Chain A
């Protein structure tokens, strides 16, 4: 836990010099995620994006944060830390939580549900995988850490 904090802070001081950076912390429940996402959308990295990229980033972030709230934190009181950094032509995200690990330690395949069967769920990871260029997942002690890169036009 302490090591991760230091890693986060180190990343902040390095990146702030050249690229817009934001660290947003929120409790891991759906109402708090809604408020945290609103703060993220106002933060320097996302405020600089054009409308198209902002829309894509908002969908991507909503799906990632909602999934963490529902499946990792799930009422345990575990919080979520979101790091945003805008680099040339790409948005880099690190999302950490201290909730339960991803089942089998791997990311869901995120296959597109068949529209004709009128699915009411199962779209989340499909959307994440559609919008992200790179996704990595690491279980580090008691922490889940997702690294996500989204291409943007800026």
Chain B
């Protein structure tokens, strides 16, 4: 699972450099994220713009990362592609994440 992390001011931006977060890769995603979020930051934005597919296991892994950050930090999402957006919308999980159209909008947003 390829994850690229970059600190921009007080925000940790983590880009998923994979086409999919699915049942076969969900555990590796969660483990990779756990290592990266150990870095201190005020905010964490997960850039999903390169992810074309996410299944319910991938969704569960994203939720698990959100819980790892709690209660000090929240997980913000950016760049949802159409099928990924559909999974968040159908399961109503779009209601528990702050979702930005793209990372740039997320960075300029107050969080």
Contacts and interface: CB of A to CB of B under 8 A. Distances in A.
A56 B63 contact: no
B87 A59 contact: yes
A62 B66 contact: no
A26 B60 CA distance: 25
B96 to A, nearest CB: 5
Contact of A123 (B22, B60, B86): B60
Main secondary structure of the interface of A (DSSP, over half): helix
A5 B20 CA distance: 33
Interface string B62-87: 01101100000000000000110011
B95 A115 contact: yes
Main secondary structure of the interface of B (DSSP, over half): helix
Interface residues of B, number: 25
Given A120-B63, A123-B59, A115 B96 contact: yes
A119 interface: yes
Contacts of A126: 90-91
B60 to A, nearest CB: 4
A46 interface: no
Interface of B: 20, 22-24, 53, 55-57, 59-61, 63-64, 66-67, 82-83, 86-87, 90-93, 95-96
Q: Report the 3 A-B pairs with minimum CB-CB distance, sorted nearest first.
A: A55-B83, A123-B56, A120-B60
